[in-house]
Amino acid sequence: MITKETLNRIYSFRESRDWSKFHTPKDLSVAISIESAELLQYFLWNNKNSDDIKSDFKILEGIHEEIADILIYLIYLAKELDLDMDTILCDKVEKNSDKYPVSKCKGSCKKYTEL
């Protein structure tokens, strides 16, 4: 998980540049969407499996960068809305556990409404 030290480093980076004033929830959400689209570019017209991607340094480096951008913007958004990332994640896993009980979904990619 992301350590407090890493979070403080991320927040300090933003604060030292006085960028938090630009980071409204709307703009952070837009940035997350844009960075997610940039991540998708590495997979467009590409049927590589995980091992192929791991062995392609150029692709892996680009994916690394986009994942970092997405995570940083998500962290900023949670901070702007006073949301605790651990709580958000645990709450969602709990909800998903209810929606997708192992007895009904193991080995299946069906949506919970189809189980």
Regarding pTM above 0.75, the answer is yes
Whose tokens are 């709450």? That residue is: 91
Whose tokens are 């080995």? That residue is: 107
User: Does one domain contain both 77 and 99?
Assistant: no
User: Does one domain contain both 76 and 93?
Assistant: no
Structural contact between residues 14 and 31, judged by C-beta atoms closer than 8 angstroms: no
Tens digit of each residue's pLDDT (9 = 90 or more) over 48-103: 889 989 998 999 999 999 999 999 999 999 999 999 999 999 999 999 999 999 99
pLDDT beyond 90 at 46: no
User: Does one domain contain both 104 and 74?
Assistant: no
User: Does one domain contain both 34 and 65?
Assistant: yes
Confidence of residue 109 (pLDDT cuts 50, 70, 90): very high
Our measurement of the distance from residue 106's CA atom to the centroid of its chain's CA atoms, rounded to an integer in Å, reads 24
The CATH number assigned to the domain holding 15 equals: 1.10.287.1080
